[in-house]
Amino acid sequence: MTRVAPGVLKYASLIIAAVVVLLPLSVVLFASFKTSGEYSTTGPLAPPSNWFNLENFSIAFRQGGMVEGFVNTTIVLVVSLVGTILIGTMAAYAIDRFAFRGRRLIMGLFLVATLIPSVTSQVATFQIISGLGLFNTKAALVLLFLGTDIIAIYIFMQFMAGIPVSLDEAAMIDGANRWTIYWRVILPLLKPAIATVVIIKGIAIYNEFYLPFLYLPSEGMISTSLFNFKGPFGAQWEVIAAGTILVILPTLVAFLFLQRWIYKGLTAGAVK
């Protein structure tokens, strides 16, 4: 007899949660398909009369500079990810496999660095980036994404510790040097860690708002292109809605395909 009530409560709460999450997103989706006349006459919860009205999307895409945003984000994303993987795995390899002077100090430096929220040091970081002459270039963003990624190095170090040293030794007996071991043995074995880092960092870079806003004012990234909609499209909510949907869409697709790995990556990355 007490079985039924908890069951009802349980599903009721889950359904409420789903509505709370999906409702704000659905109304934006609705708005994105409405013509401006329709938008001003219908309520926000009324579905659009024509689900194939793609005009807002094309306005957002063309006038909102979203093409540029997607291209720039892709470039920065790919370069930063490749760089992070190479730099991070190399550091993890050295720290885990070599005994060298300063090893503990370096580990301590990485440890303390996790405590510094990067948004607090932007005031001073900005002076360094502009001192290097990188202000307003994509290189500034790449450099910042590479340099602030301590979590990735930790994930690599964790996985590194799980790769048996006997593999290195076997390769060494076969005459491989350190670089060959890293490139041919270690890097392929770190694939799961690399997948984790690509996912966590990929999400972070795609969603990053402040760094492009501050360091790359003249070109749009996904976030800043969308943010700029506030000006010219201030009153045209149907166009802003279309832009918002365009930005969310790739995330949704990636999520649907990579669900399991995303969960795993976050549980491995967020707590370490």
Partner 1 sequence: MSVSTTGPDPVGISGPLHGVAVLDEGGRRGADGGPGGRRGPGRSPRRAGRQGRRDGPAGRRVLSRLTPYLFVAAAVGLLLLLTYLPAANMLWYSITDWNGLGPVENVVGLDNYVEVFTNPRILSVFGVSLYYFVGAFIQMALALYFATLLSFSTRFSNFFRGVIFFPYLINGVAIGFVFLYLFQPGGTLDTVLGWFGMTDPPQWLGDADIANYSLAGTSVWRYTGLNFVLFLGAIQSIPNDLYEAAELDGANRWQQFTNIIFPGIRRIIGLSFILAVSGSLSVFEIPFIMTGGANGTATFVIQTLQTAFSYRQVGLASAMAVVLLGIVLVVTWIQRKLFPDEKVDLT
Q: What is the footprint of partner 1 within residues 131-150 (CB under 8 A)? A: 143-144, 146-148, 150
Question: Quick one: 139 or 248, whose CB is closer to partner 1?
Answer: 248
The verdict on 17 binding partner 1 (CB under 8 A) reads: yes
Q: How far apart are CA 79 and CA 89, in angstroms?
A: 16
264 lies in the site for partner 1, by CB under 8 A: yes
Helix, strand and coil percent figures for the chain, each rounded to 5: 75, 0, 25
Q: Per CB under 8 A, which of residues 168..187 are in contact with partner 1?
A: 168-169, 172, 178, 182
**CA 140/CA 146 separation, integer angstroms:** 10
- What residues from 184 to 213 belong to the interface with partner 1 (CB under 8 A)? 192, 203, 206-207, 209-210
Q: Is 44 helix (H, G, I), strand (E, B) or coil?
A: coil
CB of 52 to partner 1, least distance (A): 22
Q: Considering the rule CB under 8 A, would residue 78 count as an interface residue with partner 1?
A: no
Residues 90-129 that bind partner 1 (CB under 8 A): 90-91, 93-100, 103, 106-107, 109-111, 113-128
Going from the C-alpha of 34 to that of each of 183, 240, 266, the distances in angstroms are: 54, 12, 37
Structure tokens at 3: 């079985």
By CB under 8 A, is residue 70 in contact with partner 1?
no
DSSP reduced 3-state for 33:
coil
3-state secondary structure of 19: helix
**Given 42, 79, 248, 261, the residue binding partner 1 (CB under 8 A):** 248
